[in-house]
Amino acid sequence: MSDDRWNTVLVLGGIRSGKSAFAESLVADAPAVRYVATAVGGEDDPEWLARIEEHQRRRPQSWSTEETGADPARLTELIAGAKPDDTLLVDDLGGWVAALLDPARQPNDDPADVAALAAAVRSCTARVVLVSPEVGLSLVPTTPVGRAFADALGTTNQALAEASDGVVLVVAGQPTWLKKTDGDVRRIPQEERIPQEEEPTVALLRPAPVAAPTPAPPPPPALPTVPPVFVTPPTDPDYFTPPTEATVVLSRSAVADALSGQTMSLPLVASGLTKIEPGMDLPLPSTDAGPDARERLVGADLPGGGLGALTEAIEFAASIQDTTTPRPWTSVRVVVISGHHGGGAAAGSDARDTERRVAEAELGVGVLGRLAGQAGADIAVLRVHSAGAMEEGPVAELGAVEAALRQGWQLADDAADAGRDALLLAGIGVGVEAAATAILAATTGAEAAATLPRVLRPGGRFDDHAWMVRCAAVRDALHRIRQEPRGATDLLREIGGLDLAVATGVLLGAAARRVPVLLDGPLGIAAGLIARDLAGQTRHWCLLPEAGTLGMVKQGADVLGLTPVLELGLDLGEGANALAVLPLLRTAIGLASSLPVHPAMLAEQSAAGEDFEIADIAEPGV
């Protein structure tokens, strides 16, 4: 099994559906890919050759190409012989079936060949993505040859769908996951579901890959899970449930049970029975443990001058855990919120590329997935309804904003119930930077033109025209609401949108459960500014691990009183910066807690007759 925790995925789609491009995105982060081409013939067909050339231009130079030609058994041999660290992309099975039905091979036991291919896929330990045409939605072919091809391809697709870990259908460039495995996907009965008209989000939980320790243990058995089904907007969604965790979405009975329980400060917010409003009394971290932990480091047994900027993270961890020897965060959940803002806020955005990155997060691949895997974190992906154009009018209804706040709170509570000791907020969406900048300007009076991030295109190019369009949208939105109320829910309704509302709810719920939140980017900072107006205690549960490169993040953090732990200048995308430095923070916290007092300090204390704690003398665990 690959370190992305899936072996095989079958990608289905019609002609020009975008299935090949999506399949290529699934393996884009692999260091090397063996591209298996199955096309046979077509040398005299210019249009067919042009299609092949288009596919070839998309492939990175690091990819190698193998052709199965007219021998269907060759594909089975390649998959069966693939090694665990190999990555194969087979495009597509239509060519393989055409070779299978070649009259020159008849008579032949075609079903046996299909079964052999399915068996090879089922037992394969490499990472394999198979692309296949979906012909079952068209009319029945009028010719015997056409009917034979459709029947054979349909049979092949069914066999490989059963053998693969995941199955995705691509329509008009939009992927929808189909594969369901008994015991891994739970369908909530219709009568038990929370009314969807009040819930703007669908929460999808996908455990990120966990980096193997050194030395590597024996490979684990294949994980009996599949990528989750994601539906936007939700109508009849399935919720993916990892083997040892509860789903993030509750049924009515679960809501009733949760409302009768207690958190560490407030009742669980899971329905309209409890209202999130300004002035909530949430708990505060310890005011003494943090400074005491910093002071303890002065006398720690270190050969040098100390841990430098990392002391900020140690003091933060000590405050939230109310101890001078805090524990490193061992179970982190990354909450990825994906929203789409319309109007000028979306200028210069590539919606398809954004969707690709969200899909990667759902699979636990890509930059975010790999960093989460190395940190041992899991990922929860949330898709929210699109927001309108902020310059034209309110971007969301008040009822939807209130429901999104409750949903965010519920997600934080679910993470705490699942044993997570820290959350990390990340945003992958369209127009999020502009919406966050509008929130910063509306709450702090900051100048939008000075804080709005530039629009970066692939290849490191900046699109200044798109930036100007975004800036004008923020300016017009602020002018439109100049005489409107500036309460938290008012700003979310007018310019923030539902992604910011969910993020705000996550911060409130995390503070109620005394769970720290690592912020990293525009979404988290804007949510912090909104949450501050609902409960001022929330900012004390937030940490900014890495300053990044965005001026609006630094200015918003300054308003919230958050000092970045590190200033490395990382720009890996929201959430990825914090994940990249998380192992270093853990090391610093663990080291600081394990260090005894320097012997010279003990001698001074003994000579002065001072008392000291036994825990300061002994090594940890003694």
Half-sphere exposure of 278 (CA within 13 A, CB side): 9
- Centroid of chain to Cα 458: 21
**pLDDT of 606:** 60
Residue 276 has pLDDT above 70, yes or no: yes
Q: Which candidate in 55, 340, 341, 385 is catalytic?
A: 55
pTM exceeds 0.85: no
**pLDDT of 146:** 80
**pLDDT of 199:** 37
Average confidence (pLDDT) over 296-315:
85
Alpha helices for 46-140 (secondary structure H): 46-58, 72-80, 93-100, 110-123
Residue, of 609 and 497, whose pLDDT is higher: 497
For residues 324 and 613, give the distance between their C-alpha atoms in angstroms, rounded to a whole number. 12
**Enclosing H/E stretch for 457:** strand 456-457
Residue, of 335 and 307, whose pLDDT is higher: 335
Per-residue pLDDT tens over the stretch 384-418: 999 999 999 999 999 999 999 999 999 999 999 99
User: How open is the CA angle 485-470-395, to the nearest 5 degrees?
Assistant: 40
**pLDDT of 605:** 59
- Centroid of chain to Cα 115: 36
Other beta carbons within 10 angstroms of residue 216's beta carbon come to: 7
For residues 292 and 437, give the distance between their C-alpha atoms in angstroms, rounded to a whole number. 37
For residues 51 and 35, give the distance between their C-alpha atoms in angstroms, rounded to a whole number. 16
Residue, of 428 and 272, whose pLDDT is higher: 428
Q: Confirm if 579 and 371 have CB atoms less than 8 A apart.
A: yes
Token pair of 190 as six digits: 């219709």
**pLDDT of 441:** 93
Helices (H) and strands (E) in the chain, counts: 22, 19
Give the whole-number percent of the chain exceeding pLDDT 90. 46
**pLDDT of 6:** 61
Per-residue pLDDT tens over the stretch 365-380: 889 999 999 999 999 9
Residue 257 has pLDDT above 50, yes or no: no
Alpha helices for 513-571 (secondary structure H): 522-534, 551-560
Other beta carbons within 10 angstroms of residue 322's beta carbon come to: 14
**pLDDT of 44:** 65
For residues 479 and 484, give the distance between their C-alpha atoms in angstroms, rounded to a whole number. 10
Per-residue pLDDT tens over the stretch 554-610: 999 999 999 999 999 999 988 999 999 999 999 999 998 888 877 776 666 565 555
**305 vs 194, 298, 324, CA distance in Å?**
56, 9, 19
Per-residue pLDDT tens over the stretch 321-345: 999 999 999 999 999 999 999 999 9
**pLDDT of 27:** 84
Per-residue pLDDT band for 69 (boundaries 50, 70, 90) equals confident
Q: Which has the closest alpha carbon to 339: 209, 195, 495?
A: 495
Per-residue pLDDT band for 298 (boundaries 50, 70, 90) equals confident
Alpha helices for 232-346 (secondary structure H): 252-259, 289-298, 311-321
**pLDDT of 85:** 85
**pLDDT of 196:** 34
Residue 82 has pLDDT above 80, yes or no: yes
Residue linked to tokens 């975008």: 18
Beta strand pairing status for 461-462 and 174-177? unpaired
Q: Which has the closest alpha carbon to 423: 261, 543, 587?
A: 543
Active site residue 55: yes
User: How open is the CA angle 335-340-343, to the nearest 5 degrees?
Assistant: 150
**Reduced to 3 states, what is the DSSP secondary structure of residue 282?**
coil
Q: Which has the closest alpha carbon to 418: 277, 557, 512, 513?
A: 513
Average confidence (pLDDT) over 104-128:
86
**Reduced to 3 states, what is the DSSP secondary structure of residue 518?**
strand
Per-residue pLDDT band for 425 (boundaries 50, 70, 90) equals very high
The residue type found at 402 is E
For residues 264 and 244, give the distance between their C-alpha atoms in angstroms, rounded to a whole number. 24
Mean predicted lDDT score pLDDT of the chain: 79
Token pair of 131 as six digits: 């692309």
Phi, psi dihedral angles at 336 (to 5 degrees): -100, 120
For residues 253 and 256, give the distance between their C-alpha atoms in angstroms, rounded to a whole number. 5
User: How open is the CA angle 365-367-371, to the nearest 5 degrees?
Assistant: 90
Q: Which has the closest alpha carbon to 382: 251, 500, 554?
A: 500
Most confident range (mean pLDDT) of 40-49, 230-239, 442-451 is 442-451
Residue 72 has pLDDT above 60, yes or no: yes
For residues 42, 46, 47 and 50, what is the CA-based torsion angle, rounded to 10 degrees?
90
Average confidence (pLDDT) over 335-363:
92
**pLDDT of 597:** 76
